[in-house]
Structure 1
């Protein structure tokens, strides 16, 4: 077990699933993928998962609160909204907490806009540098919430949000702070970002007629089906239990593996095997009730994670397996926190949220523990176990 208990006091998100907990939970129950065809930066239409209409309205209202907010990137605005909602739920009556919002790409949209401006005019706006750095996300959340603790920004590709939780645990266990706001924010729905995923041959072909265009956990698929989505999610962590506490982090693991290619992962995801094994050892568990997989919808990404799970648990002893990317696609740096929110909802409602593309062979009467996996470009993996 973790030597110093870490409690989850609140968690909130903004994505295609919605902006409020009940709405998000109902979206999971409906199992209806939230993808659309939409123009990106005035160009051709792309296959994406944008945040809900209400979420967009709320983001626009934040951007109008002050002149400074009108210059912020969408990634920062998403983070501010998720952080505000999380803090409301946590009901902390102080500002003595740290903030770490991870992001794979940072201020993507604004950076691309400024580059285009420079290419066209040879000049750069005075706001170009301060508003396009990765640190611009956590720093503005700190400013918005008037927090007094440490502020951290980082990019560890798709596992950025999960590493935010690891950082929060380290700060709390060190005794340097008792409270931490950890999260992830990503607004990758830009023409250049999607073009990069297409160049890697990871992106799904456009076909809205398919019931499940992102085939996360469909292990019979023959082609990659990744679709990008935008989202932000934050979690309030504390060193002591309160009446607001939703769950407890009882184990975590992290690992890396040697790369053969810049975006490669071994056939049986050695990094995930190590991170899951370490998390189970810390939690003093041989098996969890359910696993929220990273499963991006790519052939190799999904199959390698399944093989890693089979190596850790045994082919005939797997926990319940699920994922949420068949609904909202891959939200890059925020995806791990979105998965953690899914795990919290399962614990809170004692209901397994299944992925209809995968049929589990086991049944669990009560969801007591859930493992969340995240793995990113660069051969890094994080596994976190939470319990009631």
Structure 2
């Protein structure tokens, strides 16, 4: 880190709700937001944004004739971005940078347009401009009336934290003083569910009894067993949502948290998921993020933990390698909100900021932590995507 960077606002729309207050209230209980949803030819467990939030998105969709043709991925990003810059006190005239990513982009809209093409052998007029991945940041820039740089990208499930890396880089380079960064995802479609099931990582609608140890709660209580290190089957569940953070140069008076360090690494592709048993990519990214920080000073780690056997365990093994003297308190939010692909990393940042602000550790109901901190000063946040693209962000109060 060459320059101190403050996170001056963060906003989201997710199964937790549509504000920081709603998110914190949701974190105070042990309930999850996972429900069974019917698709065209199947049913699946998913985590959806609440009904009131959906109504707000529909209001946004019909607020401008140009917005009616946009995918939920873009609308979620616009909604969260509006709230983020409002809390930060930014205006469009600030010409801040924008970097918003998505693993899959306009998922539902693309599938709808493609289905129509197969039937009619003709593409609709807006099928290309409304489904290209680059339209997320472009539409947000239009909506916020800013003229700064705008970047959209996909680095699968570490997309949002890579957006944060880009914002940090631009600010450190002196090319921008402010950057809006985050991720947005609306992946709850039958084809996306089918793809995850084909990988054999998705949670079953009705989990088999007796697939966990006696000390774990029943399988039906928590369909996604993210960070249940004793699970015998994969339990990933897809979620939807968006989360945006406002980055500013320096240690500002209104900072919610300071970015103390950052790290990144990529593993050599050896198989479809490409993450080693001890997640060497995470070992490198966490070590880089720590820099000169003593690992013993890290109070908690918000893990990527997708709810798969290998994914959860490999990250845990990497943490044991880096924090060999004292394992920090470990947590994740995917058992509650599902895995929102490109948006998931920023939702984890939001979780970390809430813990720093409220000075309360948010636990996983089926994981025992021995080192829950009385005071929370420093938190590591992890994300990784297909191809072993790992990012670690170190936050301090």
TM-score range, shorter chain: over 0.9
Equivalent residues in 2 for 1:194-273, closer than 5 Å? 194-207=193-206, 210-273=220-283
Match of 2:61 among 55, 60, 63: 63
Match of 1:300 among 299, 310, 315: 310
Deviations 1:79-121 (A, max 9, x none): 0000001011001244320001011011111000000000011
Match of 2:348 among 309, 327, 339: 339
Residues of 1 paired with 2:79 and 2:176: CA distance? 23
| SS in structure 2 of the partner of residue 363 of structure 1 | coil
Q: Gaps spanning 5+ residues in structure 1: where?
A: none
Residues of 1 paired with 2:26 and 2:315: CA distance? 25
Question: Aligned-pair distance for 1:265?
Answer: 1.1
Matched positions, count:
385
Q: Gaps spanning 5+ residues in structure 2: where?
A: 208-218
Q: Counterpart of 2:364?
A: 355
| SS in structure 1 of the partner of residue 175 of structure 2 | coil
Contact 1:253–1:274 at 8 Å: present in 2 too? yes
| SS in structure 1 of the partner of residue 291 of structure 2 | helix
Contact 1:14–1:231 at 8 Å: present in 2 too? yes
Q: Counterpart of 2:214?
A: none
Contact 1:252–1:282 at 8 Å: present in 2 too? no
Residues of 2 paired with 1:285 and 1:45: CA distance? 44
- The answer to whether 1:311 aligns with 2:317 is no
Residues of 1 paired with 2:72 and 2:240: CA distance? 10
Match of 1:51 among 49, 55, 65: 49
Deviations 1:127-152 (A, max 9, x none): 00000000011110010001121100
| SS in structure 2 of the partner of residue 25 of structure 1 | helix
Deviations 1:318-357 (A, max 9, x none): 0000000000110000000000000000000011011112
Equivalent residues in 2 for 1:79-94, closer than 5 Å? 79-93=77-91, 94=93
Question: Aligned-pair distance for 1:284?
Answer: 5.9
Quote the RMSD (CA, aligned, Å).
Answer: 1.3
Change (3 A) 1:6 1:283: farther
Q: Counterpart of 1:163?
A: 162
Contact 1:249–1:386 at 8 Å: present in 2 too? yes
Residues of 1 paired with 2:341 and 2:169: CA distance? 23
Q: Which moved more, 1:57-66 or 1:284-293?
A: 284-293
Contact 1:283–1:385 at 8 Å: present in 2 too? no
Contact 2:301–2:380 at 8 Å: present in 1 too? yes
Q: Counterpart of 2:135?
A: 136
Q: Counterpart of 1:183?
A: 182
Residues of 2 paired with 1:313 and 1:278: CA distance? 13
Residues of 2 paired with 1:156 and 1:348: CA distance? 29
Residues of 1 paired with 2:185 and 2:77: CA distance? 8
| SS in structure 1 of the partner of residue 261 of structure 2 | strand
TM-score by length of 1: 0.97
